[in-house]
Every structure is written in C-alpha cells, then in structure tokens.
A and B are shown apart, each in its own frame.
Chain A
C-alpha cells in the first residue's frame, strides 16, 4: 500500500468519523427539543392576561370596600394588637387559598383531560428515551472504532517517517562512496604536464581519496554494496598511483638526463675576478620538477615503497651531473696546484731538511710594515721581504712561489665553497620536493598549491635547522650519500694531492674546511658536516705527520762544514717556516683548532731546534781539544741573535715567548763567551785575583797577603808576567781570534769586541781594587794602566780597520 493510498484511507475514515459525529449531535438536539415540549407549562394568552388584570382590579375594589366590614368581624379595634391581627389574617388567607385550589380542581373537568394528555406525553417520552439509549450505544461502538482507527493512523505516520529517513540515509551513504565518472576519467586520462592539468588531476585524486578514506559507522563498512564500491575505487586509485609513479619516474629520468646533457655541453661558468669555475644552480631541473610536489605527496601517502624508489632515482639521476660539475671545479683548482707541484720540494725553502745543500739565503728584515695592512698581506709582504734577502738571482722565482701558494689555497677555498654550496642546495631542494621535513604536510589532502616554478630559490643555499625526526634525517643522509657518491674519496684524493706538493697547503685546506664547517654547524647539513669532519681529521693527521718529519729533519741536521760556526740551516729556515705557516693559516680564528695546531707546531719545532742546537754545539766542542766550549757559545750567540732578530721582524705574536728566550740565550752566551775568551790574554792574572777574591770570603783583606799563595812576592811575580807590551800583543791576537770566530753575516764582531773591551776594563778595575784592599803598602800596581789599555784599543782600532 502506498503512502498516498494510506492517506486517502485515513482521510476517508476521518470523514466518516465526522459524519457520525454530526449525526449524533443532531440526534441529541432533537431529543432535547422533544423533552422540552413535553414539560407541563401554563399557557397564557394576551386576552386572558387582560381579563385577569380586570378581575384583579375589581377584586381590589371589592376588597377595599369590605376591609372595614372584615375588620369589624375580627373585633379589631384601632388600639388592638397589629401583630396578632396580622397573624390571624395570614392564617385566614392560607385556609382560603387551600379551599380555593381544592374547589378549582374538583370542580373543573378540563383537568382530567390535561392529566390524560400528560400521561400520553410521558409515554411518548419513554419511547423517545429508548431510542436515545439505542443511539448512544450505537455511538459508543462507533467511538471505539474511531479510536482504533486513530491509533492505527499514528502507527502509519511513524512508519512513513522512518522509511523516509531510511531513504535519505541510504542516499547519503551511496553518495559518500561515489565519485563522478568525470573524476575517474580525469584520473585515467588527463595529462600531467602543466600546472592546470596537474591541479585538475590532483583535485580528482583528492576526491577519490576522500571517498576511500570515508569512515562509515556501525558496521556500514561491511555492507556489501559499500565494500564493492570501495574495492572498485581502490582499483582506480592503484591504477592512478601507478600512472603517477610512471609519470614521475619518466619526468625525473628525462629531466636529470636533460640537465646532464646541458651541463656537459655548456662551457664552464667562471667568476669574473679570479676566473674560478662556478657550479651553477640547477634551476631548470628544479623548476620542471617542483610542480610534482603534490603528486609526490600522493605517492608518499599511497605507495611509500615506490615513493622511496622515486627519491632514490632522483638522487641517482643527479649523481653524474654533480660528479661532473664537481670534477670541473676540481680540475680547474688542480691547475693551480700544478704550479705548486711542478717545483721540487727542494725549492720550498721554508721546509727543514736534514742534509741542507741548498744555497744559504741571507735573510733581510722586512721593512715598511704598516699596521693598517691586513694580516694576510702583511705575511705575504714579509715573505717577499725575506725574498729581498736572497742574494743574487732567484728572487723572482721566490716571488712566484709565494704567489703560487696563495693562488692554490685561494682556489682550494673557492672549490670547497662551491662543493659545500652544491651539497647544501641539493639537500634543501630534495627536502622541499619530497617534503622531507617535520612541518611538511602529512597527507595529500593538505598539499599546497601547484607551483609552476620552484619558490624562493635564493633560500636554497641557506642552512636550515636540524631535522628533529631521526628517521627523516637518516633518509636525507642516505639520499645525499647517493647524490654525492664518492665525493668524500675524491676530495680526500685532492687533499692528498695538494699536500704532496706542499705539506703546508694542508693548513690552508684546514682553514677552508673550518670556514665551511662553521657555516654548516648546527644545521641539518649532516652529510656536509660528516664529510668535512672526516677531511679535517685527515688533514690534521697529515699535518701532524709533516711536523714530525720536520722535527726529524731538524734532529738529523749535520754540520757538514768543517768550520763549526755560522747560522744553522734550521735556524735560517724557521722564520720562513713560521711565515709560511702564518700565510697558510691566515684565515684561522684566534681560538680555532687550526690556530692551536699551528701554535703547537711552533712549540714542537722550536723545542726541537733548541735541543738540536745544544746537541750540535756540544758535539762540536767534544771533538776538539778546546776545553773552553767556545764553539757552543759562538753557535748559540750567532744562532740566537739571528733567531731573535728574524722573529722580531716578523712579529708573530705567538712566538714572543721564544723570542724572549732567544734573546736571553744570546745575552747569556755572549757574557760567557767574553768571560772565557778573556782568559787567553789575562789567564794567570785572573786566576790569581780570583784566588784572592775567594780568600776574602773567609779572611779579612789584611790576612790575604799572609797566605803563602797570595803573598806580595806571588803578586809581583804574576804581575810581572803581564807587561804592557805583552798585553798589547795578546790583545791583537785576541782580536784576530774573535774576528775569526764570528761570521761576517751576523755582523757581531763589533758587538762582541765592545763587550770584551768593557770586560778588560772591568777586570782591570777589579784587580786594581783588590790590590788596594789587600796589598795597600806593597806599592805595586799592574804593569799597564787603563789609559794604556784604552790607547792600545784605539791603536788596534786604527790598525785593524783600514
């Protein structure tokens, strides 16, 4: 039965009920009317009324006339009791009335008729009542019917409403698990090459995904219809995923291919200033792939395995281009190192050598240093300043060595900058494209708009914050490993190559690494950081090894020359070594590891030199019969003087401690030398007076002359050994000897001779003083006066300096 039919029925029944109701009401009215007619009622016409009135008036008149008579009848006097009278009157009146009514009824025949009528009316009423009872019963049964009908009707209404909502529910359910054919069509066929199409495809995919993701409650999911539909759509989804995968695969493949072709064909880009090769940004690749960011997200969500495959494919696709571009930079950098490598290690005058056969370079001091000059320039100038010290030819050669070193280290630092920038950019783009970060959209539904080009490309060179998620960061590292496969080994090869040419290049390289490390510190660039740390570690080890070799060379230095004097080769080399290290490490921060490395190298090398110098000096004296140890002093004097002045000139602050040490050593040795050398001309005199001095420590001055060894006779004897003539001769001999001891190169003869003259005078004064103290009455004095001595010195000066 349809709803409408039901409704009709319902309406019909309603109508019926109404009719019945109306009937009932009519019946009631009729019966009521009948009842009211049947009630006995005095019927008075107008005529009768008027007659009655007239009668009343007449009665009244008669009554008034008869009152007096009546009153007399009742024996009523005016002074009598009114109340009693009234009571008597009322009683009279009632009796009269009762008699009257009785008379009327008994006397009138019409009453019998009326009673007869009334009896008939009563009979009528009785029959009428029976009818009414019948009707009432009838109505009651009908009421029950109506009640049932009404109840049934309500049930019907609920049923209808339920059915209606069921229909809606079902319609909604069906709608929620349904996508339009247009959507499916789009997913199947719309190309994915431009932004609009991709946007359409993505929207369609989003629709499909929404359907697949719909959560139906209360076991609806298990509804067969729903399951069938979901299954169908899953199929569509899988097909679409496969299609996206294939499309992305092809795009990545072709774009990385195009990039490689383009890069291989194009001429290297170079900086305008130094002509260094630059690795360009891979803009076109980035732009052409970035529009697939949303689809990549689809893959991430729908097929993580193939999504990972795509990433790896992308990484591997880039490998050859990166390798090629890095090689280009490396090759161009290598040319700078070729110059460094082309010369032999022997040409590197800043290196220590055990067997130094190189021509000795006299070192000049650099001049014209200005504080406003940059540190780097200063050290370079110093090197050049030292170059000016090269005697004869070869200074231009020296110049070019410095320049070569500088160019090589600058080129290397540029290369590291390029490589690290490339790594940084590739990682940043990879993370953007494949949305590998914690704040990236988690689902395809949250995807951003499709962009025709990669956005904010400037920021791709910036270092980003660390990836908090361990899994993601591991994934990124894996991909970077794939892109830059073998890079670390190649850089290591390069570093070794450069170090082989010149071990001090390692320092410049370390500085370059430090600079790059610093730029990556604390960022997400784990690949770069790990690689740089590795290279840094290797470089530090290489440098350590180099310093050890240098120390060995210093230790093994042999003095080939028979003449055991002059500046030792390593003392000569050290300033150059220091200046070279400073130049190589010029970019190092004061607190950096590189700086510490350099400082510790100085420390070790200087210590090595000092102990080698001592050993050589001792050795040179041990061989001969000279017990004066003069050679040791001479070597220390000249070498420390040289060392002191050279380092003073180069102003390397960290070496200050050693500069002071050298100066002390120089001064101490100079004093010792003078004290020793003066014994040749004055030996026994000095011995005698030294004895006197010792005596004076235990005895008084007067007692000394009583000692057997120091009596006046002994004094005279010893003084007689040194007449002025003898002194003059031995002074000349001493001058010749000292002149032979000291090299022309250090120019110390005048300094030493001045010290000797001073010591002569000092000793003379001391001896005269002791004579005055200990032998006051002996009337003896040295056979030469200070004036004699000064005259001898002046004469000698004229004689030896012609």
Chain B
C-alpha cells in the first residue's frame, strides 16, 4: 500500500557531477539541510531524498552525490544512466575544475546518447570573489555552446542553491512531459496501424 502511494508521486533524479572539491556535497547538504559544512570529507557516493513542492505540485527529489575523483570513469556510467538531470559543478576559483566540466559533459552525452538531457552548468564558490579564476563570461560562453543554463552559486551563503535545484527539476519535469506526449502519439499511431 505505501509503495503504491509513493509511486504516484513524481520522483526527479538529479545527479551531481564535477571535479573533486568543487562543492558538490556542500551544495547538496545546503539544499537538503540548510547548513554549510566547512570540513572537506571526500564523498564516494550518497543518496538523498526529499519531498518538495514544485510549482504547487508535490514531488520528490532524489539527489545522487558522487565522487569527483574516480580512477575509472566507466564506473559512473551506471549511475549516469539512472539520472534524469545533471548539475555539473566547477569552482570559480579553480580553472582546472572548469576545464574538466567538458569531460563530464562528454561522458554524460555518450552514456545517455542524448544531448538534450536536463543539464545545468554551475559555478560554485562565488562568495570567494577575490579568489575567482573563472569569469562569468567565460562560463556563460561555454554554457551557451552546450545550449544549457549557467548558474553561479555559493553553498556557503546559499546563494542560488534552492534556485538551481528547482530550475533543474522544472527541466526534468518538462522533458518527462514531452516524452510522454511523444510516447502517447506513437502508441496512437501504432494502434492505427493495427
């Protein structure tokens, strides 16, 4: 009975990707619990779930927070496949982490074989303005190249944290609706043939 009830509630699966130490866990924890953890404890993987109201509609968000450093990228394939939307995070204070986003983007595209999966490029740590190494323009340029939004966040000050997850969930929801409509159409078509 409970299971049935739960299945009725839309579940949006978000995956956090990006280099090590850019603040994927910090963003997740800030979004989930509303607090900021200073100490750095490299993540392997953890899963979070929370009930939220998206545009007046109840739904659940499932966040898979993953390791930034992994010896074999292929390990990520499986959970990339399980994802419905991605937050690709880099630190605006570390240019290398910005450069690495390309790899993540490529892998996601390859694994999912789909360039249109909901994806947001996230420049984190903007509270450390004096240490900034990646300009907004540079990041925006890359985002527009990928045809995805670019959002600047601070897990410390909570700036844009709520917004970036909400934005991604909206994209996921829209995409699901589009797919459903397409499916319904094709089914209809099939029926006609039969």
> In the complex, what distance in Å separates the CA atom of A747 from the CA atom of B79?
11
A142 and B104 CA atoms in complex are apart in Å by 160
Q: Give the residue among A368, A749, A755, A794 with the most B Cβ atoms within 10 A.
A: A794
Q: What distance in Å separates the Cβ of A724 from its nearest Cβ neighbour in chain B?
A: 15
3 A-B pairs closest in CB distance: A364-B51, A790-B74, A801-B81
Asked whether, in the complex, the Cβ of B35 is within 8 Å of the Cβ of A790, the reply is: no
**B184 proximal to A (CB < 8 A):** no
Bound: A321/B50 CA distance, A? 55
Does B159 lie at the interface of the complex (its beta carbon under 8 Å from any beta carbon of A)?
no
**In the assembled complex, which residues on chain A have CB atoms less than 8 Å from the CB atom of B60?**
362, 364
Please report A residues at the B interface, Cβ cutoff 8 Å.
359-365, 367-370, 388-389, 391-392, 641, 645, 648-649, 651, 744-751, 753-755, 757-758, 761, 786, 790-791, 793-794, 796-798, 800-801
Stretch of B5-13, B125-133, B169-177 with 4 or more beta carbons under 8 angstroms from chain A: B5-13
Q: Are B162 and A368 in contact (CB under 8 A)?
A: yes
For A364, the closest partner residue in chain B by CB is B51
Which of B39-47, B95-103, B139-147 sits within the interface? Answer: B39-47
CA distance A800 to B74 in the complex (A): 15
Contacts A389-B51, A754-B66, A790-B75 known; 17 new A-B pairs at CB < 8 A? A361-B2, A365-B51, A367-B52, A388-B53, A744-B6, A745-B3, A745-B6, A745-B49, A747-B62, A749-B82, A750-B47, A790-B74, A793-B77, A793-B78, A794-B77, A796-B78, A797-B77
Q: B62: which A residues are within 8 A, CB to CB?
A: 747
Question: Are A748 and B53 in contact (CB-based, < 8 A)?
Answer: no
On whether the beta carbons of A391 and B45 are closer than 8 Å, the reply is no
State in angstroms the CA–CA spacing of A797 and B108 once bound together: 12
By the criterion CB–CB under 8 Å, are B111 and A364 in contact?
Answer: no
Please encode chain B, from 58 to 89, with 1 for each CB lying within 8 Å of some chain A CB and 0 for all others: 10101010100001101101111110000000
Given contacts A362-B2, A368-B162, contact A748 B49 (CB under 8 A): no
Confirm or deny: B179 has a beta carbon within 8 angstroms of a beta carbon on chain A: no
From A363, A368, A745, A757, B75 is in contact (CB under 8 Å) with: A757
Tell me the count of chain B residues lying within 8 A, CB to CB, of chain A: 39
Q: Which residues of B contact A757 (CB under 8 A)?
A: 75, 78
22 A-B residue pairings within 8 Å (CB atoms): A363-B51, A364-B51, A365-B51, A369-B33, A388-B58, A392-B5, A645-B48, A649-B32, A744-B6, A745-B6, A746-B47, A747-B49, A747-B64, A751-B64, A753-B78, A754-B75, A758-B75, A761-B75, A790-B75, A797-B77, A800-B78, A801-B81
**B109 located at the interface, meaning its Cβ lies under 8 Å from any Cβ of chain A in the complex:** no
CA A755 to CA B47, docked complex, whole Å:
13
Q: Nearest Cβ in chain B — how far from A702, in angstroms? A: 30
Interfacial chain B residues near A651, Cβ < 8 Å: 33, 35
Contacts of A367 in B (CB 8 A): 31-32, 34, 50, 52, 162
Docked CA distance A790–B78 (Å): 10
CB-based nearest A residue for B110? A794
CB pair B111 A750 closer than 8 Å: no
The answer to whether B193 has its CB under 8 Å from any CB of chain A is no
Q: Is B1 an interface residue (CB 8 A)?
A: yes
Question: Could you say which of A362, A745, A794, A801 contacts B74, with CB atoms under 8 Å apart?
Answer: A794
From B3, B33, B34, B82, contact of A750 by CB (8 A): B82
Q: Residues of A contacting B33 with CB < 8 Å?
A: 365, 369, 648-649, 651
Q: How far is the CB of B9 from chain A (nearest CB, A)?
A: 6
Q: How far is the CA of A64 from the CA of B45 in the complex (A)?
A: 189
List, in ascending order, chain B residues with CB within 8 A of A798's CB.
77, 81, 111
Q: How far is the CA of A801 from the CA of B2 in the complex (A)?
A: 24
With beta carbons under 8 angstroms apart, the residue of B2, B47, B71 that contacts A747 is: B47
Most central of B1, B64, B72 by chain A CB within 10 Å = B72
Q: A362-B51, A755-B45, A786-B72 are in contact. Are A391 and B78 (CB under 8 A)?
A: no
Cα separation A577 to B46 with both chains bound (whole Å): 25
Chain A residues, CB < 8 A from B58: 388
Tell me the bound Cα distance from A361 to B6 in angstroms.
9
Closest B residue to A393 using CB positions: B5
Given that A359-B5, A369-B34 are known contacts, is A754 also in contact with B44, CB under 8 Å in the complex? yes
Report B-chain residues with C-beta under 8 Å of the C-beta of A388: 51-53, 58
- A-side contacts of B31, CB under 8 Å: 367
CA distance A663 to B5 in the complex (A): 29
Q: Is the CB of A391 within 8 A of B111?
A: no
B residues near A750, Cβ cutoff 8 Å = 45, 47, 64, 78-79, 82
Q: How far is the CB of B98 from chain A (nearest CB, A)?
A: 25
Distance between A352 CB and nearest chain B CB, rounded to angstroms: 18
List residues of B whose CB falls within 8 A of some A CB: 1-3, 5-6, 8-9, 31-35, 44-53, 58, 60, 62, 64, 66, 71-72, 74-75, 77-82, 111, 162
B108 to chain A, nearest CB (A): 12
Most chain A Cβ neighbours within 10 Å, of B9, B33, B64, B80: B33
Q: Are A360 and B2 in contact (CB under 8 A)?
A: yes
How distant is the Cα of A369 from the Cα of B161 in the complex, in angstroms? 13
Q: Which residues of A contact B80 (CB under 8 A)?
A: 797
Q: Is the CB of A791 within 8 A of B74?
A: yes
B50 and A365: CB pair below 8 A?
yes
The reply to whether B44 and A391 form a contact with Cβ atoms under 8 Å apart is no
Question: How far, in angstroms, from A798 to B82 measured CA to CA in the complex?
Answer: 9
Instruction: Tell me if B81 and A754 are in contact (CB < 8 A).
Output: no
The one of B9, B71, B75 in contact with A391, judged by C-beta atoms closer than 8 angstroms, is B9
Q: Which chain A positions have C-beta within 8 A of B51?
A: 362-365, 388-389
For residue B168, give the distance in angstroms from its CB to the closest CB of chain A.
Answer: 15
* Residue from A368, A391, A791 within 8 A of B6 (CB atoms): A391
Alpha-carbon distance A230/B74, docked complex (angstroms): 119
Q: How far is the CB of A152 from chain B (nearest CB, A)?
A: 121
Q: In the assembled complex, which residues on chain B have CB atoms less than 8 Å from the CB atom of A649?
A: 32-33
| Measured CA separation A645–B50 after assembly (Å) | 10
> Is the pair A761, B78 in contact by a Cβ cutoff of 8 Å?
no
The one of B6, B72, B162 that contacts A790, using a Cβ cutoff of 8 Å: B72
Docked complex Cα distance between A790 and B111 (Å): 13
Question: A391 contacts B2, CB within 8 Å?
Answer: yes
Q: Which residue of B lies closest to A360 (CB)?
A: B2
Query: Which single residue of chain A is at the shortest CB-CB distance from B15?
Result: A750
Cα A758 to Cα B58 in complex, Å, equals 36
CB distance from B121 to the nearest CB of A (A): 23
CA distance A369 to B162 in the complex (A): 12
- Shortest Cβ distance from A507 into chain B, in angstroms? 25
Please, which residues of chain A bring their CB within 8 A of the CB of B82? 749-750, 801
Chain A residues positioned under 8 Å from B52 (CB to CB): 364, 367, 388
Choose from B1, B64, B72, B81 the contact partner of A797 (Cβ within 8 Å).
B81
| A residues less than 8 Å from B32 (CB atoms) | 365, 367, 649
CB distance from A395 to the nearest CB of B (A): 9
Name A802's closest neighbour in chain B (CB-CB): B81
Q: Which residue of B lies closest to A387 (CB)?
A: B51
Given A360-B2, A755-B45, is A793 in contact with B75 using a C-beta cutoff of 8 Å? yes
**Nearest chain A CB to B178 CB, angstrom units:** 18
A796 vs B53: C-alpha distance when bound (angstroms) = 34
C-alpha gap A747/B49 in the complex (Å): 8
CB-nearest residue of chain A relative to B60?
A364
